[in-house]
Structure 1
Amino acid sequence: RGYDIDHGTDINITVDGMPVNMVSHAHGQGYADLHFLIPETVEKVGFDKGPYNASKGNLATAAYVEFTTKEFLDHNSLKMEAGQFNTQRVVGLFKILNKQTEKNRHQFYLASEYSHTDGYFKSPQNFHRFNMMGKYNAWFGNQSQLSIIASVLDSRWDASGQVPDRAVRTGMISRFGAIDDTEGGNTGRANITIKYNRQWKNNWKTTDQVYYSRYHFNLYSNFTFFFADPIRGDQINQREGRDIFGYTTTAAKSYVLGTKKATTEFGAGFRSDNIKDISLSHSEKREFLDNIQKGDIKESNGFAYVNHDMELSNRFHLNAGLRYDHFTFGYKDQLAGAIGFSKQTRGTLSPKINISYAPNQKIKFYFNNGIGFHSNDTRVILGSGARDILPKVFGTDLGVIAKPSRNLVIKMALWHLFSEQEFVYVGDAGIVEPGGKTRRAGIDVSARYQFAKWLFGDVDINFTRARAIGEPKGEDYVPLAPSFTSIGGVTAKFKKSFSGSLRYRFIDDRPANETYAVTAKGYLITDAVLSFQWEKWEFRTSVENIFNSKWREAQFDTESRLQLEPAPVTEIHYTPGTPRFLKAGISLTF
């Protein structure tokens, strides 16, 4: 929807109800790191576009995504994978407890993952990641369920960073080379979530959830090379450690109004982030030189919402919601010698309304309208006196879902988003800064078709026009906002034997700056997966970027200076995308 959501600023992500996004993060507002989630443990993924869900608050502007892990395992499994670039991965899922009595049931499983790769860069990436997760579920009759989930992530890596286009063009380095190959870092996250669901009499259902996360982040980057410091270079270190604590409670009642079904849900909760020693410093080859910014942050978000869902008639359906969020921002500037925290508070109201009309079982029209928001960084709010503390995003969707035949489903939507303040990722500082007002409008088209019992196809196409408001024509482009994107593919599934897929990813050229004088090049990438299942064994192979296309992943228009260059140059700096990458794996269930 016209957002380059490289760091998570405008997409709200949760895992089992626990937030993934990091507010006021050292590397950018809303930073989302999902690496603590083991893919094999995911049961389902829920998502929707736009700010139309009252249960979703901060950062749920372009969309939200919610991952739900498996409640239990049917069997144990062990998977081993290996591939090019010295890549290895091992995943194990193990049933530890499966006890059932006449009224109660108890289940517990463990999952663990280890990954390593040197990557496709000239300097080895030396990437290591270790994950472990445990999930306990207890069902007490048919009325209640208790879930306890704990997980841990530890990861470290080296990086070659973004490369300036001129250095590759002149042959100074290759696409997979580096100006500063001492970039990299480490991160870790430990989580625990306790959730209790209860079904009461009179069709009341309640959910209470409490979660805690301990997180640390340490990243070395060099975006401008020798621009600010021609002698020692411009490498920066972004670092933080935080504790996150939160609680959410919901109560929903299903009932009948006249002859029509209705459900009303009430929700409330809070989230508290206590961030210690969040800093931006100047470094050389990972050695500390001097502090640029350092302090402590205390940020809390309390919220309450009501969501009402009902049938207006046999054809009309209404969903209406109202949400209130209240924030307290606190910052203590250690470099200024502050003794206490400077504070600011602000609240925002977010109404939503969604109406659908289904004249028959083959077609449904819908209209969504709502207001969302994304909070500003605490350091920006209290350091520079920003007025737009909780800038709103106003969204509207008008769409149709049609099933013209038994094998075909088509969805189309016209949409519009107005943002009171854009957040722009600044490559030379590695942070997100507030920008101006923007307007986005576009059309989304998707189709799903079943060619045969074993063959399926899907395609998604998205067109967007994104512009800054109040800027002269030709100078109003939103940097890196995609104008045309598409994904799709075909999937084949044969019973108890072969399965495979062939898929593509496409993004068109897009402006890298406000005047479109610099272009972030698009790409078309094709991937394939083939697997064969025999009794308890599965053999799998995959190829990313089948045609070995040269493409650019992250791209930014950055002003930098190479060593011995007489003056800085502004141009595209990019991270090269994955070349052809072959990987194979074997798994055993038992």
Structure 2
Amino acid sequence: MHLFKKIAYTALLLIGGTSFGYAQKIYKGKVIDELTGEPIDYACVCTKSANKTTVTDKFGNFQLSLPTDTATLYVSFIGYTTQTIKTTKTDKRFVVVLRRGAIDLKEVQISPSLNNNSFHTLSSLDLNLRPVNSSQDLMRLVPGLFIAQHMGGGKAEQIFVRGFDADHGTDVNVSVDDMPVNMVSHIHGQGYADLHFLIPETIADFDYGKGPYYTEKGDFTTAGYLNFTTKDVLDKSVVSLEYGRFNTFRGMAILNLLDSAAKKHGENWYIAGEYNYTNGPFTFAEHYKRFNAFSKYTKQLNEKNKLTFSASAFTTTWRASGEIPERAVAANTTAVDANGNPVIIPEYSNPIGRFGTIDSAQGGKTSRFNFIAKLNTDLGNNLNLENEVYYTHYNFLLHVNTSFFAEDSLGGEQQQNQDRDMFGYNGKLSKRHYLGNVILTSTVGLGTRFDRTYGTERSDVTEQYQLIDYIEQGNINQNNTSVYVDETLQSGKWLFNAGARLDYFNFNYHDTTKNDVVVSPKFNIQYTANDQVQFYLKTGKGFHSNNGITVIGNNNFETLPAAYGADLGLNWKPIPHLYINTALWYLYLQQEFVYDDDGNIVAGGKTKRYGVDFSARYQLTDWLFADLNINLAHPRLADSAKNTGYLALAPTFTSTGGLDFKFKNGINGGLSYRYMHSRAGNNTGTLNADGYYVTDLKINYTQKRYEIGLTIENLFNTQWNEFEAEEVSQLKGETAPVDQMSFTPGTPFAAKLRVAIFF
């Protein structure tokens, strides 16, 4: 009887709470951009009288429950003028149009409705303030993420983040418009993520997260993820030309194809093209050439359905100076004897120099063609359905030689070759439930991806590219199907997020098949004390898949090794014009993969990392902005002693920052730096990878119809190494291989002028 009374009392409370929720007045709205008419997600909507705040979803929609029939709403977003809306409760959704204006950090709101994306404020600020003209610039906008080139400009960048040398993407999930960029079972490294097909002027937004805490993100989401979203609508057409040192040239055009009448009917279509050429700073000119093309068409079929088609293509060819051993640039020698003593070689009596070349046969070519179709459907009653299909055709050919004569007396190359078709589907059904002061967002997702590689090959060839022997050769078929469920509950100052995803993998190589399944649970908590302070705890399990060749051929490697992580973080606005994000974090990997330049996989064993991330954005005046990012990490093999078990090239201390300015007369730009501290060059710590400090400068004069800009890389002409790695190499005339750091020098002082026309 006592138990029955408790149940009845609880039921009455629930009924009373629900009744109170239904007694509230419901205000529904949509926030759009004045120029493009496109929805604005994460716009902040608040009312001071009831002290309530919410943010718009990705379709620009919001809903507030208030106790009165009339309300005054304040709608704001970074880079827009705040709108004050006096409205009356109605069953229809009203539209709020935001006009672009000056960037004001005072407008940034800390809201309980941020849905665990504490980095969105930082990404929006940086993209609005920082001029970018390459995919590399876009990647560097992520606080704590560093990139490096070391085999010519045509390869995917090496990624360093959160104590990871993530190779070319093994531990970072990269996507564009939710289409995967990472290549599974790539011949040059698992998760290879080449973003060179991206034209920066087409980017509307980017989203990133650190750690394995996001239910939508699957393979390679251990250190984090990065997703770029392209524009649906252009606010203007642009033609630009750039020219700079080392015979560097870039031409770009992005053009509207439909008139304003079509735009009013929800129809938009534009194209973009880009050509890049540079010799680079090397003595042996790179002759780097890249062509890019992109087109996107969107059509609002009706009030409920929006259809999007996009296509992109790029092709690149280049010659590579490659990595050279440190000893090769020592004065008057290019060789050492078996004891490491310098030896004068008559045919190389002069040093090759930091920008010299030992093997001129290195280089490559690559291409990628992408097609994406999306249909977003508003099913009514706060229920949305997203469907996406994509297809990619990809080619890759690389000639690389980092060991020179260490492996054979011919000093030949290694050839890496792969053709690929990739196609897949992403589907997501999401529903928002409003129960008084409680918001419950439920999401169910389904994805499938198929990769088919042809002519996958890693072989030894002569300098004339004649085959010596195959190292690996054969077609790889790989399938990945995933399903996930995600629930987010917001009640007052609290937000709880829980989810889980299941991934099924099928690997096939040389007619041998292997299957595996991994389940990845996530749980996150957020507490917003007020509009100045927000705490969050993120926990979750992620994974990175292994290369199909390794999965089939070697049972000593894990197929889908797990990653377990936790973040304890803070978002803080101590004063109106200062925004701070900081976090303590920990990450454990069941097995780490490391790829050398030859594409060989090395299982790093179990690893653990912990560290601190700190980011601050401060507006000093209405035209001057400061930013600072500091990232500390302690990466180690999990079973190592305190001062051993180093992880080669894993960053331990990095920092970026600078000053950005935007004057009303059109002068804008910024002075920025990036700092990488010295770190272990190998797992024993006996070799060292040098740190660097590089400063860049960008200045633009922007008017309504044109822009003139100057970009200076390495303003103070610092001598620095963009990339270093341990290599066992043997130069001509040396009697035995030498284990030493090899390096690719960083760009010296390089100025580039840009002229753009808007219409």
**Is the structural similarity TM-score above 0.5?**
yes
Number of the residue aligned with 2:466: 288
Deviation string for 1:218-275 (max 9, x for gaps)? 0000010000112x11410100000000001110001124530111010001000000
Q: What is the CA-CA distance between 1:309 and the residue it aligns to? A: 1.1
Cα distance in 2 between the residues matched to 1:349 and 1:47? 22
2:587 to 403, 406, 417: 417
Number of the residue aligned with 1:316: 494
Number of the residue aligned with 1:382: 552
1:109-508 correspondence runs (5 A)? 109-171=270-332, 172-230=351-409, 232-257=410-435, 259-290=437-468, 291-311=470-490, 313-332=491-510, 341-427=511-597, 429-508=598-677
Number of the residue aligned with 1:574: 743
Letter in 1 for 2:413: Q
The answer as to 2:701 corresponding to 1:540 is: no
Deviation string for 1:167-198 (max 9, x for gaps)? 01244310000110210010000110000000
Number of the residue aligned with 2:681: 512
TM-score by length of 1: 0.96
1:107 to 246, 268, 276: 268
- Residue 145 and residue 170 in structure 1: after superposition, are their counterparts in 2 closer, same or farther (change >3 A)? same
Cα distance in 1 between the residues matched to 2:188 and 2:571? 39
Cα distance in 2 between the residues matched to 1:54 and 1:308? 10
| Residue segments in structure 2 that go unaligned for 5+ positions in a row | 1-161, 333-350
Cα distance in 2 between the residues matched to 1:176 and 1:160? 8
Residue 187 of structure 1 aligns to a residue in which SS? strand
Cα distance in 2 between the residues matched to 1:101 and 1:436? 57
- Contact 2:704–2:758 at 8 Å: present in 1 too? no
The answer as to 2:207 corresponding to 1:37 is: no
Deviation string for 1:347-379 (max 9, x for gaps)? 000000110111111100100000000000111
Query: How many pairs does the alignment contain?
Result: 579
Letter in 2 for 1:317: L
Letter in 2 for 1:284: T
Number of the residue aligned with 2:758: 589
Q: CA RMSD in A?
A: 1.3
The answer as to 2:220 corresponding to 1:59 is: yes
**Among the aligned pairs, what percent are the same residue?**
41
Q: What is the CA-CA distance between 1:472 and the residue it aligns to? A: 4.3
Residue 200 of structure 1 aligns to a residue in which SS? strand
Letter in 1 for 2:480: N
Cα distance in 2 between the residues matched to 1:273 and 1:2? 30
| Residue segments in structure 1 that go unaligned for 5+ positions in a row | 333-340
Task: Identify which range, 462-471 or 208-217, moves more after superposition.
Answer: 462-471
Deviation string for 1:423-481 (max 9, x for gaps)? 11223x23333220000000011100000000001000011101102234543111111
Letter in 2 for 1:265: T
Cα distance in 2 between the residues matched to 1:352 and 1:530? 43
Q: What is the CA-CA distance between 1:100 and the residue it aligns to? A: 4.4
Number of the residue aligned with 1:26: 187
Cα distance in 2 between the residues matched to 1:523 and 1:432? 28
- Residue 99 and residue 452 in structure 1: after superposition, are their counterparts in 2 closer, same or farther (change >3 A)? closer
Letter in 2 for 1:70: K
Task: Identify which range, 96-105 or 243-252, moves more after superposition.
Answer: 96-105
> Stretches of 4+ moved more than 6 A in 1?
none
Cα distance in 2 between the residues matched to 1:22 and 1:149? 20
- Contact 1:99–1:105 at 8 Å: present in 2 too? no
Deviation string for 1:305-347 (max 9, x for gaps)? 0111111x31111111110000000001xxxxxxxx1010000
Number of the residue aligned with 1:90: 251
Residue 525 of structure 2 aligns to a residue in which SS? strand
Q: What is the CA-CA distance between 1:69 and the residue it aligns to? A: 0.6
- Contact 1:71–1:137 at 8 Å: present in 2 too? yes
Cα distance in 2 between the residues matched to 1:305 and 1:71? 27
Q: Which one has the bigger helix percentage?
A: 2
Cα distance in 2 between the residues matched to 1:286 and 1:264? 59
